[in-house]
Amino acid sequence: MSMIKCISPVNGEVYAERPAMPLELAKQVVSRARQAQKAWARRPLDERVNLVLSGVARLNEMVDEVVPELAWQMGRPVRYGGEFKGFNERGNYVATIAADALKPLVIEESDRFERRIAREPHGVVFVVAPWNYPYMTAINTVAPALMAGNTVIIKHASQTILVGERMVRAFVEAGVPADVFQNIFLDHETSAALIAAKSFDFVNFTGSVEGGRSIERAAAGTFTGLGLELGGKDPGYVMEDADLDAAVDTLMDGATYNSGQCCCGIERIYVHEKLYDTFVEKSVAWVSNYKLGNPLDPETTLGPMANKRFAATVREQIADAVAKGAKALIDPKLFPQDDGGAYLAPQILTNVDHSMAFMREETFGPAVGIMKVKSDSQAIELMNDSQYGLTASLWTKDAERAARIGADIETGTVFMNRADYLDPALCWTGVKETGRGGSLSVIGFQNLTRPKSYHLKKVTA
């Protein structure tokens, strides 16, 4: 039996491992989920919502285990306290809109006709989750899917192998029936085989573009609904009227927090020539304050990347850009803990352009490129020069200008004077190779249900 392993970035050793489930056993898990689904969907919405909220609350009680476990699995420093803030905010918010989002759209209610569009759960939803924000990305789908009356099977990333198991434990201890929310340890082949065998009614995949392609291929011809939340290369644009200090603070945080491993992390910044020099100088000072080190040390503000192979990609992109003329502004001597492996110093590059992979491909590390621009049109062209489109962060005091530029940017979300945040009231979505579909908000509920039309003609005497 093959084992799925989490190699800890803290020390490069196996932190946890679980046997990959063979296909026949996995099919039994799916079958239990299917059998449990109708009874779960028949329970009153309030009951389902409250059980999910109890699951969220139960996970919070596990904070003392969750936080160091996350540090060991993917390197997030313990001082940040896990990801409960976003996890709770999203879980709690979707609970407040569930009734409205799922209520039928009544077209006619007369003595002759009842015509309405109801929302029906899909059935069994498969959630494939990434390691970078392992709880927050999972709750985006798990909470609304369960509330809507689906049963859910979660397959978590190898790097965060314990997260699905722990979430399910919390939810089941809180009263969610065991067959309604199940964790499964699967390799890629078995995941694909299950999808190809029409096991699921909806698959939500959050991860890389290549992973998304594999899921789409596995689902081809099955008509299984897919939500694909994939990579990004999110830009920031600082206009000449921006609040400079706020822009530096938010954009540098957006570029480097979680060691830059955020789907909506800031990966490239375009700054108006009037502010460029000061922006760069302040950004270098901001980033130089990080303390890179062991994530279990409360003093550490920047942990290792989740895996040394992710750090290797960042190092390669930086080296390639520097070979092509980029200037690396962060002195490596400030970060002696950089070990050439998972522990990676943050970096800011200038003299960059879009011929460099560093400015085009997802870096997913604590490194960002800054370019000077002269005009909005140049900034728009550069922001759109990407295969991705998740978010864009505009910095200006002029909301109308931001809205105008926002209309021209190919992106899922337009931010003004903020970045790197998922508002659960808005739809989380992307364009181009960032994927398809949308989660959270009313639209997230719609994507986890299907419309069912009732056209009832009443018999009148």
Query: Residue 174, SS3?
Result: coil
Element at 454 (helix H, strand E): strand 449-457
Nearer to ligand NAP, 191 or 447 (CB): 191
**263 a catalytic residue:** yes
Spatial CB neighbours of 374, under 8 Å, sequence gap ≥ 6: 272, 273
Give the whole-angstrom CA distance, residue 99 versus residue 45.
Answer: 7
Should residue 313 be labelled a site residue for ligand NAP when binding is judged by CB under 6 A?
A: no
CB of 110 to ligand NAP, least distance (A): 44
430 binds ligand NAP (CB under 6 A): yes
CA distance linking residue 338 with residue 54, whole number of Å: 42
- Reduced to 3 states (helix: H, G, I; strand: E, B; else coil), residue 431 is coil
**How many beta carbons lie within 10 A of that of residue 212, not counting itself?**
23
Query: Out of 174, 390, 392, 402, which residue is the one contacting ligand NAP (CB under 6 A)?
Result: 390
- Any contact of residue 211 with ligand NAP (CB under 6 A)? yes
Which amino acid makes up residue 30? V
Q: How many other C-beta atoms can be found within 10 angstroms of the C-beta atom of residue 452?
A: 11
- The H-or-E segment that residue 377 falls in is helix 376-384
208 interacts with ligand NAP by CB under 6 A:
yes
CA distances from 233 to 175, 266, 287, 395 (A): 40, 7, 20, 17
Q: Is 120 a catalytic site residue?
A: no
Amino acid 283 reads S
Q: Which is nearer to ligand NAP, 179 or 362 (CB)?
A: 362
Active-site residue identified among 6, 83, 262, 263: 263
**Contacting residues for 336 by C-beta, under 8 A, at least 6 apart:** none
214 contributes a contact to ligand NAP by CB under 6 A: yes
**441 lies in the binding site for ligand NAP (CB under 6 A):** no
**Which one from 69, 83, 229, 267 is the annotated catalytic residue?**
229
3-state secondary structure of 344: coil
Please state, in angstroms and rounded to a whole number, the distance separating the CA atoms of residues 423 and 397: 21
Per CB under 6 A, 157 contacts ligand NAP: yes
> Binders of ligand NAP: how many residues, by CB under 6 A?
30
Closer to ligand NAP by Cβ: residue 176 or 195? 195
Which window, 50-58, 150-158, 272-280, 316-324, contacts ligand NAP (CB under 6 A)?
A: 150-158
Asked if 172 touches ligand NAP (CB under 6 A), the answer is no
Binding flag, residue 86, ligand NAP (CB under 6 A): no
Q: Decide whether 230 or 367 has the Cβ nearer to ligand NAP.
A: 230
Region from 37-45, 70-78, 207-215, 282-290 binding ligand NAP, contact rule CB under 6 A: 207-215
Establish if 411 lies at the interface with ligand NAP (CB under 6 A). Answer: no
Residue 164 found at the interface with ligand NAP (CB under 6 A): no
Tell me if 231 contacts ligand NAP by CB under 6 A: yes
For residues 115 and 21, is the Cβ–Cβ distance under 8 A? no
Amino acid making up residue 59: L
3-class SS of residue 195: helix
CB count in 10 Å sphere of residue 88: 18
Neighbour count for residue 336 (Cβ, 10 Å)? 10
What does the angle CA 145 – CA 146 – CA 152 come to, to the nearest 5 degrees?
80
Minimum separation from the CB atom of position 309 to ligand NAP (A): 10
Please identify, using beta-carbon distances, which residue of 149 and 236 lies nearer to ligand NAP: 236
Min dist. Cβ of residue 404 to ligand NAP (A): 26
- State the minimum distance, in angstroms, from the CB of residue 142 to ligand NAP: 14
Asked if 364 touches ligand NAP (CB under 6 A), the answer is yes
Smallest separation, CB 281 to ligand NAP (Å): 29
Tell me which residues touch ligand NAP (CB under 6 A): 128-132, 137, 155-159, 188, 191-192, 206-208, 211, 214, 229-232, 263, 362, 364, 390, 428, 430, 434
Catalytic residue numbers read 229, 263
